[in-house]
Amino acid sequence: MPTSKTIMLQASNLCKTYTTGKEQYHAVRNVDLSIYERDFTVIMGDSGSGKSTLLYLLSGLDAVTAGEVQLQGQQLNQFSAKELARFRANQIGFIYQNSNLVPDLTLFDNIALPGYIANRDKEAVKQRAHELMTSLYLEKEGSRLPSQVSGGQQQRAAIARALINNPDIVFADEPTGSLNYEQGVTVLDILSGMNADGQSIVMVTHDMKAACRGNRLIYIRDGKIGGTLDMGPYAPEQASEREAMIFAYVTGRR
């Protein structure tokens, strides 16, 4: 592991057990991992291997059964619910597969909402929302409802919402999973651009083309780390070689 990288997030002995009636399912099992600043980390693994569960634990969206997550030196499971909500609002952005926008708020208000929730200065939030809408090609869509724009525009609004408070880290759960090819490429280009500007990103994906954008891959198998692969920076002209490398790595780990 390169020593020059700074650890941003550290998970230790992370476990998540789901209980349904008398049945228990160990979805995440004793995971230790580090996420580094400015990395674009990709999490891959077969369906049901525990990728989304792991992402929810790392981002504080779901509570661990055992173990701990430290983000920027702060232990998430020592926070009260209120403290965790505040910490998440300020430090963490999350992009869902299906955008998860509030249906009866305009795109502009959806994007600005986490800024208001974090009690930031209203004028500063509005200005940041306008800047993000411009950089994500949404400047004409601000007054529309989510139902009045395309899936790609909804997802770009969800990215803007995730960025409104300048989070330290952005988590994305299959952010291109419900988009067509073109919309997916636009979203990946945006994520690559954010990362090139220094944004730390952790993304779960099934898609080899999406995985190519990362510089580090974590492979999950049966709720455990099945391997990690340092891929180096993404270069569009080497995308097909990288895709082949990821495919070979993932299939070899199954």
Ligand X SMILES: Nc1ncnc2c1ncn2[C@@H]1O[C@H](COP(=O)(O)OP(=O)(O)OP(=O)(O)O)[C@@H](O)[C@H]1O
Contact positions toward ligand X, by CB under 6 A?
Answer: 18, 20, 25, 27, 45, 47-53
Task: Tell me whether residue 46 or residue 168 sits nearer to ligand X (CB atom).
Answer: 46
Quick one: angle between helices 151-163 and 181-196, nearest 10?
Answer: 20
**Could you tell me if 42 and 211 are in contact, meaning their C-beta atoms sit under 8 angstroms apart?**
yes
What gap in Å lies between CA 125 and CA 119, rounded to an integer?
A: 10
Task: Tell me whether residue 48 or residue 236 sits nearer to ligand X (CB atom).
Answer: 48
CB of 46 to ligand X, least distance (A): 7
Say which amino acid occupies 116. Answer: Y
CB of 5 to ligand X, least distance (A): 26
Say which amino acid occupies 182. Answer: E
CB of 14 to ligand X, least distance (A): 12
Distance of CA 77 to CAs 64, 66, 163, Å? 8, 10, 24
Task: Tell me whether residue 25 or residue 137 sits nearer to ligand X (CB atom).
Answer: 25
CB of 16 to ligand X, least distance (A): 8
Question: Which has the closest alpha carbon to 171: 57, 22, 64?
Answer: 57
Task: Tell me whether residue 55 or residue 136 sits nearer to ligand X (CB atom).
Answer: 55
